[in-house]
């Protein structure tokens, strides 16, 4: 991969004008920002755009602009063998066909590396940036945020593979610091009881989702909730208080019959962006990623981009406001999906959100659902939502356990969607597809057949 990264880097060096096209999620924003910084430092003439997906309209628009070079980040592998009339380079990590192994295409799957957890779109882009100039190694912090945005730390409770090498670059430069701590979301910015209230992966029975139980739980073990007028956050607690909470959560889980393997998931590595101010959304990689997800998914990619590029003033404030809206939308989306009801079949379960959930966040909602207490995690979950262009978006989520049994949602979604003239792909544990409206039932039949065959092997 290093050699390929250098080759792609050379194409960049030899081009004058470059247009970056990236994805609208946290990994896409950080990938685009790494590309942006790289080109800025090289003094290139460049532009950037963020898209939901590479559909025909997007491609047509790109062709019309006649860019000298187009740099696709965190997407593009799906078009690497088509559109030979676009002069392109690609730094992506989504599954791709073997015949796409070209000199301009950097993707871990071409090198037998798992793009699901070993490296993200931002990481792949970082490799090219580093190959161009080792001074760009400070951008490793953004690459780690991207990996956390794609939940690549979930499988082992820490980043592995190439992500680990990138992490070590960041550590050496003191831009990122890995620490062992509680892995629940919100260590830096949420009151401790809120951190518990929203705890998932694993959920804490009797505590997750119940505000008053969280407060009682903390009071019973003698944790002071407030310091004067302000709620204490995880980072405000003493070391002893933190261990006390962790051991009590572990006890609760073990008593409820969760095994050791699940219980130990509550602690793991967290990633601190050392140059950032403590107690802010950009100090912890996971919180940073969520902040970014609140921007481009609502068409405010300029806000996310500016924050990635270093704005800690006006745009950080804007992003924080968007975060409040994003949280509310997620809560509403989860509620909506539950009310619509999840229908179970033998090898999959699904819900149809219709127009009820914004298509740009409903992948996150599907992901939250499969990790929640009341949803069966033994079969994959498929969500449908209408898009504004009259098509239907499908989002599929599985679990590590299912992947170990042979599940590959990327392959299954791709195959089922293409038989219906749609398109699909992604990762083995999480994938998406777009299909014509009215074909949902047929799609589920095809998909179920694929999943059944995968799990049988």
Residue whose structure tokens are 């793009």: 115
Task: For the CB of residue 413, give the shortest distance to Mn ion in the complex, in Å.
Answer: 16
Q: Where are the alpha helices (DSSP H) in 75-160?
A: 121-132, 140-149
Task: For the CB of residue 121, give the shortest distance to Mn ion in the complex, in Å.
Answer: 4
**Sheet harboring 349-352: ordered strands across?**
343-344, 349-352, 381-386, 391-397, 430-436, 423-426
Q: Is 457 exposed, middle or buried (0-12, 13-18, 19+ CB in 10 A)?
A: exposed
C-beta separation of 411 from 95 below 8 A: yes
Count of positions on this chain that bind Mn ion (CB under 5 A) = 4
Task: For the CB of residue 428, give the shortest distance to Mn ion in the complex, in Å.
Answer: 14
Left, alpha or beta for 113 (phi > 0: left; psi -120 to 50: alpha)?
beta
Task: For the CB of residue 93, give the shortest distance to Mn ion in the complex, in Å.
Answer: 6
**Cα distances (Å, whole numbers) of residue 383 to 353, 440, 445:** 7, 10, 14
Nearer to Mn ion, 20 or 253 (CB): 20
Nearer to Mn ion, 27 or 287 (CB): 27
Q: Which stretch binds Mn ion (CB under 5 A): 20-28, 48-56, 183-191, 331-339?
A: 20-28
Of residues 434 through 453, those in contact with Mn ion by CB under 5 A are none
Task: For the CB of residue 120, give the shortest distance to Mn ion in the complex, in Å.
Answer: 5
> Does 32 participate in binding Mn ion (rule CB under 5 A)?
no
Task: For the CB of residue 152, give the shortest distance to Mn ion in the complex, in Å.
Answer: 9
Nearer to Mn ion, 29 or 266 (CB): 29
DSSP tag of 162: H
Helix/strand/coil for 278: coil
Q: Which stretch binds Mn ion (CB under 5 A): 27-35, 50-58, 343-351, 397-405?
A: 27-35
Query: Which of 26, 27, 357, 407 is the binder for Mn ion (CB under 5 A)?
Result: 27
C-beta separation of 443 from 420 below 8 A: yes
Residue whose structure tokens are 């006390």: 244
Task: For the CB of residue 322, give the shortest distance to Mn ion in the complex, in Å.
Answer: 20
Nearer to Mn ion, 120 or 329 (CB): 120
Nearer to Mn ion, 15 or 107 (CB): 107
* Cβ-proximal residue to Mn ion, closest one: 27
Peptide bond into 202 cis (omega under 30): yes
Nearest to 431 by CA among 406, 395, 456: 395
Nearer to Mn ion, 32 or 422 (CB): 32
DSSP structure string for 389-449 = TSEEEEEEE--HHHHHTT--HHHHHHHHHHTTT-EEEE-SSEEEEEEETT-HHHHHHHHHH
Task: For the CB of residue 147, give the shortest distance to Mn ion in the complex, in Å.
Answer: 9
Task: For the CB of residue 72, give the shortest distance to Mn ion in the complex, in Å.
Answer: 12
Alpha-carbon distance of 88 to 67, in angstroms, equals 9
Bridge partner residues of 50 (DSSP): 22
Nearer to Mn ion, 92 or 448 (CB): 92
Nearer to Mn ion, 27 or 450 (CB): 27
Task: For the CB of residue 333, give the shortest distance to Mn ion in the complex, in Å.
Answer: 21
Task: For the CB of residue 318, give the shortest distance to Mn ion in the complex, in Å.
Answer: 24
Nearer to Mn ion, 31 or 353 (CB): 31
Nearer to Mn ion, 100 or 349 (CB): 100
C-beta separation of 319 from 293 below 8 A: no
**Cα distances (Å, whole numbers) of residue 263 to 71, 202, 206, 378:** 42, 7, 15, 18
Of residues 57 through 76, those in contact with Mn ion by CB under 5 A are 74
Binding track, positions 124-163, relative to Mn ion; x by CB under 5 A:
--------------------------x-------------
Task: For the CB of residue 102, give the shortest distance to Mn ion in the complex, in Å.
Answer: 20
Nearest to 132 by CA among 15, 305, 295: 15
Nearer to Mn ion, 189 or 395 (CB): 395
Alpha-carbon distance of 428 to 170, in angstroms, equals 28
Query: Which of 32, 76, 116, 121 is the binder for Mn ion (CB under 5 A)?
Result: 121
Nearer to Mn ion, 51 or 237 (CB): 51
Nearest to 42 by CA among 106, 132, 105: 132
Nearest to 304 by CA among 20, 71, 30: 30
What DSSP element (H or E) covers 338? helix 314-340
Of residues 296 through 335, those in contact with Mn ion by CB under 5 A are none
Residues that bind Mn ion (CB under 5 A): 27, 74, 121, 150
């Amino acid at each position: 991969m290093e050699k390929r990264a250098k080759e792609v880097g050379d194409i960049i060096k030899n081009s004058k004008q470059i247009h970056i096209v990236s994805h609208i999620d946290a990994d896409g924003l950080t990938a685009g920002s790494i590309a942006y910084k790289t080109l800025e430092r090289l003094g290139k003439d460049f532009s950037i755009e963020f898209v939901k997906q590479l559909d025909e309209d997007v491609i047509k628009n790109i062709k019309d602009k006649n860019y000298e070079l187009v740099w696709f980040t965190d997407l593009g592998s799906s078009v690497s063998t088509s559109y030979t009339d676009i002069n392109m380079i690609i730094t992506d990590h989504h599954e791709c066909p073997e015949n796409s192994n070209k000199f301009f295409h950097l993707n871990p799957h071409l090198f037998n590396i798992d793009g699901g957890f070993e490296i993200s779109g931002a990481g792949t882009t970082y490799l090219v940036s580093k190959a161009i100039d080792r001074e760009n190694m400070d951008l490793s912090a953004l690459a780690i945020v991207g990996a956390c945005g794609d939940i690549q730390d979930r499988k082992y409770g820490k980043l592995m593979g190439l992500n680990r090498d990138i992490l070590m670059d960041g550590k050496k430069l003191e831009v990122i610091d890995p620490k062992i701590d509680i892995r629940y979301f919100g260590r830096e910015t949420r009151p401790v009881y809120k951190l518990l209230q929203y705890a998932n992966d694993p959920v804490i029975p009797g505590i997750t989702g119940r505000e008053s139980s969280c407060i009682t739980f903390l009071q019973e073990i003698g944790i002071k909730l407030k310091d004067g007028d302000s709620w204490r956050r995880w980072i405000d607690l003493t070391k002893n208080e933190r261990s006390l909470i962790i051991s009590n959560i572990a006890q609760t889980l073990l008593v409820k019959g969760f095994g050791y393997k699940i219980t130990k998931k509550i602690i793991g590595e967290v990633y601190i962006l050392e140059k950032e101010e403590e107690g802010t959304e950009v100090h912890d990689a996971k919180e940073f990623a969520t902040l970014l997800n609140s921007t481009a998914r609502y068409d405010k990619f300029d806000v996310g981009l500016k924050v990635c590029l270093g704005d800690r003033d006006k745009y950080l404030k804007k992003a924080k406001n968007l975060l409040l809206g994003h949280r509310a939308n997620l809560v509403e989306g989860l509620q909506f999906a539950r009310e619509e009801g999840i229908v179970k079949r033998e090898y999959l379960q699904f819900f149809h959100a219709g127009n009820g959930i914004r298509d740009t966040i409903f992948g996150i909602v599907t992901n939250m659902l499969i990790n929640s207490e009341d949803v069966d995690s033994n079969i994959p979950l498929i969500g449908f939502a209408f898009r504004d262009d009259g098509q239907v978006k499908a989002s599929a989520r599985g679990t590590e356990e299912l992947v170990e049994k042979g599940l590959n949602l990327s392959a299954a979604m791709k195959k089922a969607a293409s038989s219906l003239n749609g398109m699909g792909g992604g990762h083995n544990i999480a994938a998406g597809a777009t299909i014509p409206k009215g074909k949902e039932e047929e799609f589920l039949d095809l998909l179920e057949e694929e999943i059944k065959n995968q799990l049988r092997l």
